[in-house]
Structure 1
Amino acid sequence: MKGIVSSAVVASALFFTGCGDNKGDSQETKASADNSKKTYVLKFSHVVSANTPKGKAADYFEKRLEELSNGQIDVQVYPSSQLYKDNAVLKALKLDSVQMAAPSFSKFGKIVPQLALFDLPFLFKDIDHLHRVQDGEVGKELKSMVTEKGYKALSFWDNNFKQFTSSKKPILMPSDAEGQKFRIMSSKVLEEQFKAVGASPQMMPFSEVYSALQQGVIDAAENPISNIYTKKFHEVQKYLTISNHGYLGYLVVMSEKFWNSLTPELQKDVEQAMKEATQKEREYANELDKEQFDLIKKYAKETGKLEIFTLNDEQRKAWKEATSKIYPDFYDKDVIGKDLIEKTLATE
């Protein structure tokens, strides 16, 4: 009996001792469980309308991330500069006033000038080559540079390739650009691109381009099809050349503070949702490019006021030889860097 009582006492003691030892673990488990149920609000600010490729991809990302996170992340998309314009959104991301944005590459000019890589003329063979560069080593290096500046760089999104338009003459060979006044964005690369072929680059706000073309203040411009169609540049230019000579795109970035506040599991959800949204955005951009080009071709056929050309292989080769001469001007690693340019050219 004594043995039985002793055993009972020992068992009882072990039971309560065990409860005491596990108290801290229990609290930690509870805290971990509470953290796993924490909800987050992610404000995604962008400057275009909801029916554009970027706008539609942002909405897709919202739906997909909310699904993957089981509602833990509430994504709120604000299109059409409802929260911030691109020139203010990077500062807002630093302050965590907004958690995600997709500014054009030019907005990163003073932060990561290496993104001017995408301005270099005739650097990419086609859209598939471009995407292999963005998804490969070069893209990772560029995103790492942005992340080092206090942002979480997530993915590249398309606007699309740029085309030439002119009111003077068809732009088929480099000599055709000589003497023409081309509107450009603020970019040293674009300035040198046109100087290389004897053209006169004119830096001008996008909002002034239509009237400048209409009034003959400038002769020509370079824009993706979406800009040409939506801003009706094709109605005030006589010639359109499908050149695919340069690229316009966006970099989707997240507030570093917000990213670091997420659990590893939720970070994986963000990356998966972004991967899927990027594929969708590329599809949307390609579809819109074809759709709007068809509308431009219809306008040209019905009015006879616009002629459309496409560079052939020989013409494209001549352009690349003429403009690639500027590449060494940007070999300095503090501008673009020889390594990034050569890796891009070598990407299969």
Structure 2
Amino acid sequence: MKKMWQWALMLVLAMVLAACGGGDKPKEETGKEESKGESDGYEEARIRLAYNLPQDHHISVGIENFAKEVKERSDGKVNIQVYPAGQLLSDKDMNQSILSGGVEMGMNSSTLWASTVPAMGIFDVPYVFNNYATVGELLQGEFGDILRKEMEAKGAYPLIFADYGYMQFANNKHPLKSPDDFKGLKIRSIGDLPSELIQAYGASPVFMGGGEVYMALQRKTVDGATSGTTAMLQRKYEEVTDYLTINNYAYLEFLLAVNGDFWNGLPEKTRQLLTEVAAETETWIREQAEKEDADSAKQLEEKGMDVYVVPDEELQQWIDASAPVRDVFVQTAGEVGQKLLDLSDQQ
């Protein structure tokens, strides 16, 4: 009887051990399958992206498509909610919101970034960039690496450098055919270095956001403004100004920047996707800039603006009069600023 109980106990123990051993393997295999499935997909992410440009601007079109492509390629998991044309933030409030995490992504001008990242003022130094191809080439090398490093040091990851195009002057007083013609005018400025240029030409700068300019020109709060012809056309400058001067004094960039902590917290797979689509978007926007500049200037002329293109042989007087701005940039941006100038002068 005692042996029978011993055999029964041994049989029960064997069955328990067999059950435990048999259960471990399927459970382990199932876990691996689940892990593989998760790694092949994207984690869900909701990202707010704000910008201030008109929705039909070529940069805006590129950014809207960027958001669409990211969503499609992630099967809807990475959803970028776009807030266009100042719906969420003004251009003056954008950068602080990005840095504080108030918004995850934002598109804003290099000029407005220059107050936080002085090196970004390189795009406002007059007559540094002589043609459309130069900027793209510089941004792909050491010049671009320096700017990205400076942005990241402040807590913002630059995802896209978007070519806005050349900056010009419009006014409602008289043709601006030389720097002397600026004297006595009040000109809307977009930042510190453009204000220095306006002063160097003898006018008074008045800083205001893009959405405020039309009303200011209409009410004659200012006599003129500096902007790109693309934005001038979309903001209907032809209704409130008579004269346009094409002197290509600066080549403005807009940056799609991401809050640094948010960027670093994203899964590697998501960062790779955003980087890949961003590179494609940057190329597309760069290809549009020259065409859009030419088309918008032509349309402004057709709508009645008196357009004066500064002849190449007269450009030197504009360059000479702007010399103090380069000195201010170096004083503000220091050795980094001088390095950027040296690299750009080599092109």
Q: Same fold (TM over 0.5)?
A: yes
1:164 pairs with 2:159: no
Amino acid at match of 1:310: V
Work out whether residues 112 and 190 of structure 2, in 8 Å CA contact, stay in contact via their aligned partners in 1: no
Q: How do 1:80-95 residues align onto structure 2 when only pairs under 5 Å count?
A: 80-94=85-99
Work out whether residues 332 and 338 of structure 1, in 8 Å CA contact, stay in contact via their aligned partners in 2: no
- Which residue pairs with 2:263 in the alignment? 259
Deviations 1:186-240 (A, max 9, x none): 41x2232133233333445545544554555543332211232233333443322
Alignment partner of 2:152 out of 147, 152, 156:
147
TM-score (norm 1): 0.80
- Aligned equivalents of 2:333, 2:125: Cα separation in 1: 16
1:154 partner SS:
strand
1:190 pairs with 2:189: no
Structure 1 residue 140: Cα displacement: 2.0
- Aligned equivalents of 1:215, 1:105: Cα separation in 2: 28
- Aligned equivalents of 1:182, 1:323: Cα separation in 2: 16
Structure 1 residue 284: Cα displacement: 4.2
- Which residue pairs with 1:338 in the alignment? 338
Q: Provide closer, same or farther for how the CA distance between residues 328 and 19 of structure 1 changes in structure 2, counting only shifts above 3 A.
A: farther
Structure 1 residue 311: Cα displacement: 1.3
Structure 1 residue 80: Cα displacement: 2.9
Work out whether residues 57 and 231 of structure 2, in 8 Å CA contact, stay in contact via their aligned partners in 1: no
- Which residue pairs with 1:59 in the alignment? 64
TM-score (norm 2): 0.80
- Aligned equivalents of 1:190, 1:175: Cα separation in 2: 17
Work out whether residues 242 and 309 of structure 1, in 8 Å CA contact, stay in contact via their aligned partners in 2: yes
1:159 partner SS:
strand
1:281 pairs with 2:274: no
- Which residue pairs with 1:243 in the alignment? 247
Q: How do 1:1-348 residues align onto structure 2 when only pairs under 5 Å count?
A: 27=31, 30-31=34-35, 33-37=37-41, 38-94=43-99, 96=101, 98-187=103-192, 189-204=193-208, 206-214=210-218, 216-300=220-304, 306-332=305-331, 334=333, 337-346=337-346, 348=347
- Aligned equivalents of 1:50, 1:226: Cα separation in 2: 12
Computed over aligned residues only, the root mean square deviation of the Cα atoms, in angstroms, reads 3.3
- Aligned equivalents of 1:146, 1:292: Cα separation in 2: 31
Deviations 1:130-185 (A, max 9, x none): 22233332222112211122222112113221112234433233333344333323
- Aligned equivalents of 1:85, 1:343: Cα separation in 2: 33
Work out whether residues 187 and 223 of structure 2, in 8 Å CA contact, stay in contact via their aligned partners in 1: yes
Q: Provide closer, same or farther for how the CA distance between residues 232 and 97 of structure 1 changes in structure 2, counting only shifts above 3 A.
A: closer
The structure number with the bigger radius of gyration is 2
Residue correspondences, number? 327
- Which residue pairs with 1:5 in the alignment? none
Q: Provide closer, same or farther for how the CA distance between residues 315 and 24 of structure 1 changes in structure 2, counting only shifts above 3 A.
A: farther
- Aligned equivalents of 1:88, 1:213: Cα separation in 2: 22
- Which residue pairs with 1:303 in the alignment? none
2:128 partner SS:
coil
Work out whether residues 68 and 273 of structure 1, in 8 Å CA contact, stay in contact via their aligned partners in 2: no
2:285 partner SS:
helix
Work out whether residues 47 and 80 of structure 2, in 8 Å CA contact, stay in contact via their aligned partners in 1: yes
Deviations 1:292-318 (A, max 9, x none): 323212123xxxxx4212111111222
Work out whether residues 234 and 240 of structure 1, in 8 Å CA contact, stay in contact via their aligned partners in 2: no
Question: Identity across aligned pairs (percent)?
Answer: 25
Amino acid at match of 1:277: T
